[in-house]
Amino acid sequence: MISHADVEKLRSMRAPGPVVLSLYLPVPLDPAEVRGLAAEAGDLMAGVGASDVDGASDVDGASDVDGASTAGVSDADRQAVLDALAAHGRDWLGHTVAFFACAQLGLFESLPLPCLLPERAVLATRAHVRPLLAALQRCPDYRVAIADRRHGWVLSVSGNQVETVASQSDEGLRSHGFGGWYGLEAHRVQQRIIQLNRHHYRDTAAILTRGAAASRHLPLVIGGHHESIASLLQALPPAVRADFAGSFTADADTLTPARVRELAAPVIEGWVARRERELAWEILSQAPTRLAAIGLPACLAAVNQGAVTHLLVAHEGMIPGFACGRCGALSTASAECPDGDTSARAVPDLLEEMVQRTLDDDGEVTVIRDAPFSIAAKLRFPVTTEAGGR
């Protein structure tokens, strides 16, 4: 599965011309349908080229701009993709696989993604990573803590992989035969059991605390009975409690790793959706302070001035545009280039270019769904620009 390190590795590679292929291909769950993948991949690769950006070609029939290449995907890169599908297609059932190929750079990667994404093919000077970011954000790695009065487990979930990273058992004092105890002695025994149970939850909380820093504060799901969930939450320090994404109820004795993932998955989906809504609302609430940009024109101006600290961008759709070959300014039309039309270079997707520029400037990017805008940004400082539409 992919990681942020994979994204940064791909971003570090850049070709002098638009020869880097990025292909996102959903693999069907039915093995019988895998045979048709080669033809589908071939059609997608054949579709990238001169048609991606109007006016991107030169008189020799091959473009040296940042947009689509009229030469299209090289034979070597096309064959590398088809060979990988023939060798591993059945290993990727039910996943979207991201292929990145450029023979000139010695690049070929095939990365199965943790969630399904739409098909897409792009040919540019570097890898098209916006769908990778979407996959990482929508299907993040996370931790699950399962606790009851006698046991505790901490599991790590990454894609389809579930690993038990810590477990403990504390039998404590049993409550059998309480009916034979009377008065003060019965009270003392019960209080001792309560204290042992609390100690058990504190131990589980300590395990989670020690792992929080190493796991980059991944979202945390807690499973068990209602009282166990409440007791463990109460034992968590505030810094770890801030990672709490939600909970599910289950009998700990009946859980398997696969069942843990099945129960935790909708909790994580809800947490991701809530986070996206909160980010969108935060942007909208900051707009009156001029520390937010909403819409393509305003965001282009902010990116061009290096003012973006957090970019929120839709996953769907691509917007062709231009980048100035001298100053690098992004624009929707070649005539908008500050250094004149002759310096404008076509780019296949302005949204991707804005993502790359924001990451280059140490900003943060979130690929968002169902927002009341197509693109928006939190700013480091106010930017003067003409009002843009949403």
CATH number, domain with residue 316 = 3.30.1330.30
Q: Residue 141: how many CB atoms within 10 A of its CB?
A: 18
| Domain-embedded: residue 280 | no
Within this chain, do residues 242 and 295 fall inside the same structural domain, yes or no? no
170: buried, middle or exposed (CB in 10 Å: 19+, 13-18, 0-12)? Answer: middle
Within this chain, do residues 119 and 150 fall inside the same structural domain, yes or no? no
8 A C-beta contact, residue 66 and residue 324: no
| Domain-embedded: residue 285 | no
Within this chain, do residues 179 and 297 fall inside the same structural domain, yes or no? no
Of 132, 22, 117, the C-alpha closest to 77 is: 22
Domain boundary among 138, 172, 199: 138
Within this chain, do residues 112 and 147 fall inside the same structural domain, yes or no? no
Domain boundary among 100, 119, 138: 138
Of 352, 370, 367, 372, the C-alpha closest to 303 is: 352
Within this chain, do residues 170 and 264 fall inside the same structural domain, yes or no? yes
Within this chain, do residues 329 and 248 fall inside the same structural domain, yes or no? no
Q: Residue 142: how many CB atoms within 10 A of its CB?
A: 22
| Domain-embedded: residue 367 | yes
Within this chain, do residues 271 and 306 fall inside the same structural domain, yes or no? no
Within this chain, do residues 162 and 132 fall inside the same structural domain, yes or no? no
Within this chain, do residues 125 and 146 fall inside the same structural domain, yes or no? no
Domain boundary among 138, 156, 189: 138
Residue-level pLDDT, tens digit, the chain, 390 residues: 788 899 999 999 999 889 999 999 999 999 989 889 999 999 999 998 643 444 333 323 333 433 334 468 999 999 999 999 999 999 999 999 999 999 999 999 999 998 889 999 999 999 999 999 999 999 999 999 988 777 788 999 988 889 988 877 655 434 333 333 344 444 443 444 344 455 668 878 888 887 776 666 799 999 999 988 998 999 899 989 999 999 999 988 888 999 999 999 999 999 999 999 999 999 999 888 889 999 999 999 999 999 999 999 988 889 999 998 888 899 998 777 666 666 788 899 999 999 999 999 999 999 998 888 889 999 999 997 654 334
Within this chain, do residues 70 and 202 fall inside the same structural domain, yes or no? no
Within this chain, do residues 128 and 151 fall inside the same structural domain, yes or no? no
Of 251, 247, 249, 243, the C-alpha closest to 275 is: 243
Q: Please name every residue paired with 323 in a beta bridge, in sequence order, or none if there are none.
A: 330, 345
Q: Residue 110: how many CB atoms within 10 A of its CB?
A: 20
| Domain-embedded: residue 283 | no
Within this chain, do residues 297 and 372 fall inside the same structural domain, yes or no? yes
> What is the model's pTM?
0.81
Number of domains in the chain: 3
> Any idea what the CATH number is for the domain that residue 253 is in?
3.30.420.60
| Domain-embedded: residue 389 | yes
| Domain-embedded: residue 284 | no
Which long-range contacts does 325-333 make (Cβ < 8 Å, 24+ apart)? 328/304, 329/304, 330/300, 330/303, 330/304, 330/354, 330/357, 331/300, 332/296, 332/297, 332/300
The pairing of strands 142-147 and 120-124 is unpaired
| Domain-embedded: residue 261 | yes
Residue 314's domain comprises: 290-390
> Any idea what the CATH number is for the domain that residue 17 is in?
3.30.960
As given in the structure block, the two tokens for residue 86 are 């023939």
Q: From CA 252, how far away is CA 270, in angstroms rounded?
A: 22
